[in-house]
Amino acid sequence: MIVDCHTHVWEYPQHLSDYWLTEFDRIWGKGKGIEVAVDLEDHWRAMEGVSRAIVLAFRSRALGVDVPNTYVAEYVNKHPEKLIGFACVDPNDADAPEELEYCIKELGLKGLKLAPIYQHFDPLDEKFYPLYQKAQDLQIPILWHQGTTFLSNAPLKYASPVLLDEIAQRFPQLKMIIAHLGHPWFNEAVVVIRKHPNLYADISGVANRPWQGYQALVTAVEYGVADKLLFASDYPFSTPRETQEALRRINERVRGTNLPKVPEEVIEGIIHRPSLSLLGIES
Ligand SMILES: [Zn+2]
């Protein structure tokens, strides 16, 4: 069984601002921007070949992105045998904990996505701790975008995976996932997930940069945390199929050298990770 732990749905112009697409064009090239917008049918087709997929709501006022919780809930509730929805709330909203509870109990969503770099909040500001407490009380995982981005209006000072160390100490029962293995701070992400039993990382985007991704996986193996890496594509930036192929090619750059290889069983272990039971979403 293959579980894709990190996928997006978002339509343009309903959910994505021109700012987002302009920035996407600036970095990835003209004309690519509009392709990043996908509808539900695109998503459904791309998930062929995986058994289960987590679909993320997303709200960033700073970037003008709003993929509503209701939109994600309606989609995943049509395909409960395959799809799992994660809510997104803006921690800057005073009622964020209550909104989260509504999303879980009423909409049937199963986790929370947070992105301090996109949502412009300091994860270590204690005024946000009631939200983490609520997630722990509801026994749902938080998927954190603790890593960089291509967008300008996104403060890197809130993006380090190391910031989660303190939150993990304060909320030891809270399951948390560091998206993209903390890209590009793989070493930091690896040491944080090694410290805390309930911390994991998803590998979306990692293998798309072959040299950096190779080093990230070797580092995870050397620190003994490869079994805490969860398979994920970050669709539409990559599909689950492309992500599997990239993972299986990860040793290509070092073939014929004495550099260490990422063992095949580690790669297959990531692809077939039983992430939903690890995260307490399903037994
Ligand atoms: Zn993502």
Q: 138 C-alpha to center of ligand 1: Å?
A: 23
H runs (alpha helix) in the chain: 18-28, 40-46, 69-78, 96-105, 116-119, 129-138, 163-170, 186-195, 210-222, 240-248, 264-271, 275-278
Q: What is the Å distance from ligand 1's center to 163 Cα?
A: 19
CA proximity to 226, closest of 251, 256, 189, 253: 189
The alpha carbon of 235 and the centre of ligand 1 are apart by a number of angstroms equal to 7
β-pair type (3-8, 176-178) = unpaired
Burial pattern 24-38, b for ≥16 Cβ within 10 A else e, equals beeeeeeeebeebbb
Structure tokens at 250: 């990860």
In degrees rounded to 5, what are phi and psi of residue 230? -105, 140
Q: What's the pLDDT at 33?
A: 53
pLDDT by 10s per residue, the chain, length 283 = 999 999 999 999 999 999 988 888 888 876 555 577 889 999 999 999 999 999 999 999 999 999 999 999 999 999 999 999 999 999 999 999 999 999 999 999 999 999 999 999 999 999 999 999 999 999 999 999 999 998 999 999 999 999 999 999 999 999 999 999 999 999 999 999 999 999 999 999 999 899 999 999 999 999 999 999 999 999 999 999 999 999 999 999 999 999 999 999 999 999 999 999 999 999 7
Nearest-angstrom CA–CA distance, 80 and 74: 10
How many Å lie between the centroid of ligand 1 and the Cα of residue 217?
19
CA of 153 to the centre of ligand 1 (A): 17
Return the amino acid letter for 229: L
Distance 222 CA to ligand 1 centre (A): 26
Distance 178 CA to ligand 1 centre (A): 11
Amino acid at 70: T
Q: How far is the CA of 172 from the centre of ligand 1 (A)?
A: 25
What distance in angstroms lies between residue 184's CA and the mean position of ligand 1's atoms? 14
What residue type is 149 in one-letter code?
T
CA of 7 to the centre of ligand 1 (A): 6
As a whole number of angstroms, the distance between CA 60 and CA 38 comes to 18
Angle at 174 between CA 219 and CA 93, to 5 degrees: 110
What is the predicted pLDDT for the residue at 273?
Answer: 98
86 Cα–ligand 1 center, Å: 12
CB of 200 closer than 8 Å to CB of 279: yes
DSSP state of 151: -
* pTM of the full structure: 0.97
46-50 long-range contacts, Cβ below 8 Å, gap at least 24?
Answer: 46/7, 46/233, 46/235, 46/236, 46/239, 46/240, 47/4, 47/7, 47/82, 47/83, 47/235, 47/240, 49/2, 49/240, 49/241, 50/2, 50/3, 50/4, 50/240
Residue 54, classed as helix, strand or coil, is strand
Distance separating the N- and C-terminal Cα atoms of the chain: 14
Whole-angstrom distance, CA of residue 122 vs CA of residue 206 = 25
Closest CA to 203 of 225, 175, 181: 181
**How far, in Å, is the centroid of ligand 1 from the Cα of 258?**
34
Q: At 259, list the tokens.
A: 């550099």
